[in-house]
Amino acid sequence: MVTYVCIVARSTFFAYFVNGTGKIRFQLPVGLSASLAVVSEPIIFSTRRGSRNAGVMMSICAALFPGCFLWPLQANQIIAGTATGIWSR
């Protein structure tokens, strides 16, 4: 649960900034893939690995983990003024 809180806290801070700038087109495919992963991964983590509730938390953490790296990268490029291509949409 601590891992989940750390992942959400880190990615949410930068996601709010990116949402405030209006450059959210990059977030759409990443968010959709994360939501599909959150729906499908708990079945794999909880039933096949036998970890039940911990498997659900692991799957949510795995789905949200890319946001810890992608949103700060996009926010830094927006702040520096070097965002081009998909980063500036």
pLDDT tens digit sequence for 19-55? 888 888 888 888 898 889 888 888 877 777 667 777 8
Check: CB of residue 64 under 8 Å from CB of residue 50: no
pLDDT tens digit sequence for 46-85? 777 667 777 888 888 888 899 899 989 999 999 998 888 8
Q: Is 65 helix (H, G, I), strand (E, B) or coil?
A: coil
**So what's the pLDDT on residue 56?**
83
For the chain, the maximum distance between any two Cα atoms, rounded to a whole number of angstroms, is 47
**So what's the pLDDT on residue 28?**
86
**So what's the pLDDT on residue 49?**
66
Around 3, how many Cα atoms within 13 Å sit in the side-chain half-sphere? 11
- The encoded tokens of residue 19 equal 């949402």
d(CA 76, CA 17): 10
